[in-house]
Structure 1
Amino acid sequence: MQHRAGLRFLCVAAMCGDGANDCGALKAAHVGISLSEAESSVASPFTSQEANISCAPQVIQEGRAALVTSFGVFQMMLCYSLTEFTSVIILYGIDSNLSSFQFLFIDICLILNFAATFGRTRAHTRLAQQPPRTSLLSFVPICSMALFMLLAAGAQTFSFHYIQTFDWFVPFQYDPSVGGIAAFTPSYENYAVFCTSMFQYVTMAVTFSKGKPYRRPIWTNRVFLACLVGMTGACAYLTLSPAQWLAGEMELAMPPRMDGRLMCLYVAAVTFLLCYFVQCCLVEVLLEQLATRWGNAAKPRRNQLENGVQNHAFIMQAQ
């Protein structure tokens, strides 16, 4: 068992035992399941309520779901920070920025709710044949985040420039005399970038909440689904027709006509469809197949190393 556990990336060593003479193996394995509630339960992280190995598939399902959830939360939080950074960089180009309440709405109302409910999706009822990826720095996760950020940055840049084409648009002019830490001047550019980016946080929560084959569908997580629907409605309300006092608190320069407001909704809808299509079709199908082919090409080397370790273990036992 120690040799198996020492193979690192070659395999994951699991052990089921009743504690008679296998406490050492239960402790050395990556995953140990005790079939008895006696002393062996101390040596293993899991204890079966029934004296059989029927719980092993469930342990694997929960472990895979936890791994995929951790990766999804990491991807969402990384893209959240980069999306907000993109908004700030675009507005810095005209010496503007997001207001304090806009930052607060993104961080507290959107991201905090999504991060708190993202992991409540339960494991899938069936055990998938192919295990999930075990590295965030592999080809597929990096491409997934990079493609999302390209679409998000492109959508914000498009909204920033497109709102300047309306006849009612008044460009933002930085006034040095109103400078200071607490100073902020609402602008149409700020409205376009902020309202477009709001929906992108909802998009990333849906995009990176991977379901089948390791987790159940997103609609089974009712709390998370309620947050998605509620926050989408709140974003649409802020974009189209917020109360005057709320627009003042958020420091939004509302466009005088509905065409500029609907433009942000159209851009958000197109961005969502593109991101979802890229994630479901391009990343999870095409890129996964390419990564699987590259992984199969590396199997002969892994098999050679595993056979070498097994031969070494056999020689040590013979001595």
Structure 2
Amino acid sequence: LYWQLNSFGNYQFLFQDLAMTTVIGVTMSFTGAYPKLVPYRPPSQLISPPLLLSVVLNILFSLSMQIFGFVVVQEQPWYSKTDIYSACLSENKSVENSSFTSSLELHGMREGALEETDNGYKSYENTTVWLLSTINCLIVALVFSKGKPFRQPIYTNYVFVLVLVGQLGICLFLVFADIEDLYSKMDLVCTPTTWRISMVIMLAVTLAVSFLVEEAVIEN
């Protein structure tokens, strides 16, 4: 986004920092120790090769997903760098045709409101990267919440599980809700349903790859 002289909006940063990462960081530590001892100890240093490899690989997975979404959204037929409403224009044509005069009046009111609320952050790239990176926080939290042999399984931490489920529900609501006032406040723009589903698929693939690498490679 900085490449385009763009960034996340204030409420986008606040949502990620306060509603996501802070709550995750607090509740993740509620997981208790595993009740049985094992004949080997956990890594004594935070910079041990397995831990570093795990962090580096997950950073690469997250970065790859966000770059992929950033690039691919620009290749979509509905994408426009200057018109942030082009993606949902076809969905509004029937309304505009049914009442041309009313639509002109509403359009004028909408333009006036946009001039007051648009801070320059809104774009298809911003919406895509923010939604992907926000839900990716949940993926990283889930993948790094290892259970045996040193800690109890994640499902024993009821508060943490409820937090993850609640945050996932809110994030998916932001992806599919398409409420104009909410999107305006969060500096998001409307995208076609197919693209929203595509973002969910990207996240699912990232989760699967991260989990498989963590279990099959890092643990061994």
TM class by shorter-chain length?
Answer: 0.7 to 0.9
- The equivalent position to 2:171 in structure 1, one of 235, 254, 272, is 235
- Does 1:103 pair with 2:29? no
Amino acid aligned to 2:47: L
Separation in 2 of the partners of 1:232 and 1:280?
23
Equivalent residues of 1:151, 1:271 under 8 A apart: yes
Separation in 2 of the partners of 1:172 and 1:199?
27
Equivalent residues of 1:207, 1:276 under 8 A apart: yes
Give the 3-state SS of the residue equivalent to 1:148 in structure 2. Answer: helix
Amino acid aligned to 1:225: V
- Does 1:281 pair with 2:216? yes
Separation in 1 of the partners of 2:185 and 2:203?
23
Separation in 2 of the partners of 1:277 and 1:156?
19
* 2:101 corresponding residue in structure 1: none
* 2:201 corresponding residue in structure 1: 266
Give the 3-state SS of the residue equivalent to 2:29 in structure 1. Answer: helix
- The equivalent position to 1:219 in structure 2, one of 149, 155, 172, is 155
Separation in 1 of the partners of 2:145 and 2:34?
13
Query: Where does the alignment leave 5 or more consecutive residues of structure 2 unmatched?
Result: 84-117
Give the 3-state SS of the residue equivalent to 1:144 in structure 2. Answer: helix
Equivalent residues of 1:124, 1:214 under 8 A apart: yes
> Shift of residue 263 of structure 1?
1.4
Give the 3-state SS of the residue equivalent to 1:157 in structure 2. Answer: helix
Q: Cα RMSD over matched residues?
A: 1.4
> Shift of residue 194 of structure 1?
0.6
* 1:114 corresponding residue in structure 2: 24
> 1:103-252 residue pairs with structure 2 within 5 A?
103-171=13-81, 183-252=119-188
Query: CA 1:183–1:248 in structure 2 vs 1: closer, same or farther (change >3 Å)?
Result: closer
The alignment's TM-score, normalised by the length of structure 2, stands at 0.81
Query: Where does the alignment leave 5 or more consecutive residues of structure 1 unmatched?
Result: 1-90, 174-181, 286-319
> 1:23-34 residue pairs with structure 2 within 5 A?
none
Equivalent residues of 1:94, 1:172 under 8 A apart: no
Give the 3-state SS of the residue equivalent to 2:202 in structure 1. Answer: helix
Separation in 1 of the partners of 2:58 and 2:22?
20
> Shift of residue 254 of structure 1?
1.6
**1:173-223 CA distances to partner (integer Å, 9 max, x unpaired)?**
9xxxxxxxx943300010111111111100111111111001110000000
Q: Which has the higher contact order (CA 8 A, sep 6+)?
A: 2
Separation in 1 of the partners of 2:3 and 2:121?
15
> Shift of residue 242 of structure 1?
4.0
The alignment's TM-score, normalised by the length of structure 1, stands at 0.57
Give the 3-state SS of the residue equivalent to 1:252 in structure 2. Answer: coil
Identical aligned pairs, as a percentage? 31
Amino acid aligned to 1:263: S
Separation in 2 of the partners of 1:282 and 1:254?
39
Give the 3-state SS of the residue equivalent to 2:38 in structure 1. Answer: coil
Equivalent residues of 1:160, 1:193 under 8 A apart: yes
> Shift of residue 161 of structure 1?
0.9
Compare CA radii of gyration and give the structure with the larger one: 1
Give the 3-state SS of the residue equivalent to 1:161 in structure 2. Answer: helix
Separation in 1 of the partners of 2:57 and 2:8?
24
TM superposition outliers: structure 1 runs of 4+ over 2 Å: 182-185
Query: CA 1:117–1:98 in structure 2 vs 1: closer, same or farther (change >3 Å)?
Result: same
Aligned residues: 186
**1:116-135 CA distances to partner (integer Å, 9 max, x unpaired)?**
10111111111111111110
Amino acid aligned to 1:148: N
